[in-house]
Every structure is written in C-alpha cells, then in structure tokens.
C-alpha cells in the first residue's frame, strides 16, 4: 500500500525531492507540488511531469482537488514559513515532514531514531549538517557518552540557496541541540562553512567528540563504520573520508571522524550533497511512515 504525498516548496530541495519520489520510491505517490513563484523551475518541471501544481503556497495546495488524497506533506520552504504551513496542514489532518530548521516537531535522523516518531503529525529533519553528523555522534554514544560534540559542515557556496542562507542561525542552533537530544552528547556545537571554491567542492563534514581516556577505541571504530554503512543505504554518496582518529586531549580522548557526502544528482549537481542528504532522509522517513502504517492496517 502506497502513501500519497505532496511537496510544499518549489526551490532546489523541493524539486530534488519531487524527482526522488517519482524515480526512486515504490511506496510514495506524488500528487502535487506547491510554491510561491509561478516562474520557478520546480513548478515548470512538475507541470511537464503532469503533477498538479499551484504558485499560491500552502493555501493553494489545500485548495487543489488532489490534496484530499494526500497523507504526507514535505515542507521544503523556510523556518519562518513552516509554523504557518503546519498550522494550516494540521487543520486538514495531514502529517508533515519538515525539511526546514524550524524544529516544531521532534528531530528525526533515519539511521538513529526514525521509528520513535513515525506516528507524530510533524517531524523535523534537523539540517543537512545534522543528518550527516548526528549518526556519527550517536554511533560513538552507543559505546560511551561524549562529554562534548562539535561538528563542522562545509558546503559549496553554490549549493546554498536563499533559504539556506536565511536560516544560518537556525542551522547552528537546531544542529547543536540535536547533537545532544538525538546524538547523545552532553554538549554540542555546530558550525557551517560556505566554501566559495570554483569548481564547487562536495560536502565535507568533520565530527569531533571528547570521550573518556579509557574509552574502547576498537568498539568506537566498529560502531562508526556500522553507522556509515546504515546511512549509506539511503544516502549512497555518504562515506568516511579517512580512518577514525583518536588523539589524547587534556586527560580525555578526542575522536575525529571525517566524512564526505556526494549527491545523487537527480536534480541538483553532485557536489550538492548537503541538499541530497536532506531529501534522501526525508524520503526514507516518509517511506517508513507508510510501511508501519500499512503494517498496522493489515
């Protein structure tokens, strides 16, 4: 049994998500795409694919005849717009997968805590940096609780659109909070770097965790590799850049993990791994919602 979905937001993330639903998912059926720019490339492509569209935002979406069958709406707009969008969609009884850093609903990282929240009516996909790094912090936390986790997400400037740039503050705050609440660290800090290099560089993420000096290095290394394998099942371009590093640091051990995320290039360039990991995580979350709800209905 498939679930009918809609995409709210016709920018880079929304358009990439549209292509992922159409090309990759056997459990989701795309009914509509909504935006606010009638000339956007995303709406134009949706129309060419015979998908229902509106340029009147969430109000236009709920007015479409196709909306009646929609069960899940992906919100790929902005943190500022999400609260209004959610209020409207909640009145219609729709589940919302939020790809903005608004953090209205609980944080969801598919490889870590997806099943804990699939029955919520609003789940938050944290940020691109969070989707890339929280699994690693959680992998380390399976062995020992990090006293501190710091992540640096470096992305190509060309892959950061107006929405990403407008949400920089929300990015750092939301990611840092999720490093604690989902990743399991005692404290967290997040930094984002927009790299202007030309040609553009792929997404790179650095994770630093401080753990007790007595922590089992082999167990941490195994756990990290297992988590990388789990994430790569739904984000094929996700990989370790080099071996896990262990360094003494003031009576503690600093664990360093270096990641690279290459996009699948369904719509966006391959260097835009930061956007690809968000849409891939959102797709997997909605699919899991559909799977579990189908099992319960059987």
Active site residues: 128
Contact by Cβ (8 Å): 75, 82: yes
Is 251 marked within a binding site?
Answer: no
Is 165 marked within a binding site?
Answer: yes
Is 13 marked within a binding site?
Answer: yes
CA distances from 38 to 35, 43, 61, 64, 274 (A): 7, 7, 13, 16, 26
Is 78 marked within a binding site?
Answer: no
Is 161 marked within a binding site?
Answer: yes
* Distance from C-alpha of 42 to C-alpha of 240, rounded to nearest angstrom: 32
* Distance from C-alpha of 284 to C-alpha of 130, rounded to nearest angstrom: 16
Contact by Cβ (8 Å): 27, 6: no
Vertex 90: Cα angle to 33 and 283 (nearest 5): 45
Is 93 marked within a binding site?
Answer: no
Is 166 marked within a binding site?
Answer: yes
Vertex 53: Cα angle to 272 and 73 (nearest 5): 65
Is 274 marked within a binding site?
Answer: yes
Is 63 marked within a binding site?
Answer: no
Is 10 marked within a binding site?
Answer: yes
Helix (H, G, I), strand (E, B) or coil at 132: helix
Tokens of 275: 């956007």
* Distance from C-alpha of 286 to C-alpha of 269, rounded to nearest angstrom: 24
* Distance from C-alpha of 42 to C-alpha of 10, rounded to nearest angstrom: 5
Closest CA to 231 of 273, 269, 294, 170: 273
Contact by Cβ (8 Å): 22, 49: yes
Tokens of 93: 């009884």
HSE (CB half, 13 Å, CA atoms) of 221?
8
Vertex 227: Cα angle to 221 and 233 (nearest 5): 140
Helix (H, G, I), strand (E, B) or coil at 73: strand
Positions at the binding site? 10-13, 159-167, 274
Positions at the binding site for NAD(+)? 10-13, 159-167, 274
């Amino acid at each position: 049994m498939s679930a009918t979905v809609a995409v709210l937001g016709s920018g880079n993330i929304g358009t990439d998500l549209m292509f992922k639903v159409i090309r990759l998912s056997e459990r989701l059926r795309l009914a509509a795409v909504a935006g606010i720019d009638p000339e956007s490339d995303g709406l134009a492509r949706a129309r060419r694919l015979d998908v229902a569209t509106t340029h009147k935002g969430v109000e236009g979406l709920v007015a479409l005849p196709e909306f009646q069958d929609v069960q899940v709406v992906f919100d790929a707009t902005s943190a500022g717009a999400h609260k209004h969008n959610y209020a409207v969609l909640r009145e219609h009884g729709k589940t919302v997968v939020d790809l903005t850093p608004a953090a209205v609903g609980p944080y969801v990282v598919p490889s870590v805590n997806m099943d804990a929240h699939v029955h919520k009516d609003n789940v938050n996909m944290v940020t691109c940096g969070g989707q890339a790094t929280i699994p690693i912090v959680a992998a380390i936390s399976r062995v020992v609780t990090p006293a501190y986790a710091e992540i640096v997400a470096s992305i190509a400037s060309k892959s950061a659109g107006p929405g990403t740039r407008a949400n920089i503050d929300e990015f750092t705050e939301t990611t840092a909070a999720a490093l604690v609440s989902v990743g399991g660290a005692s404290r967290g800090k997040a930094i984002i770097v927009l790299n202007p290099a030309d040609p553009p560089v792929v997404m790179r993420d650095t994770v630093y965790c401080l753990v007790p000096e007595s922590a089992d290095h082999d167990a941490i290394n195994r756990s990290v590799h297992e988590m990388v394998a789990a994430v790569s099942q739904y984000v094929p371009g996700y990989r370790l850049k080099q071996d896990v590093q262990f360094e003494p640091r003031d009576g503690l051990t600093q664990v360093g993990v270096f990641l690279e995320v290459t996009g699948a290039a369904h719509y966006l360039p391959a260097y835009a791994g930061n956007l690809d990991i968000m849409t891939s995580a959102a797709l997997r979350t909605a699919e899991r919602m559909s799977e579990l709800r189908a099992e319960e209905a059987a």
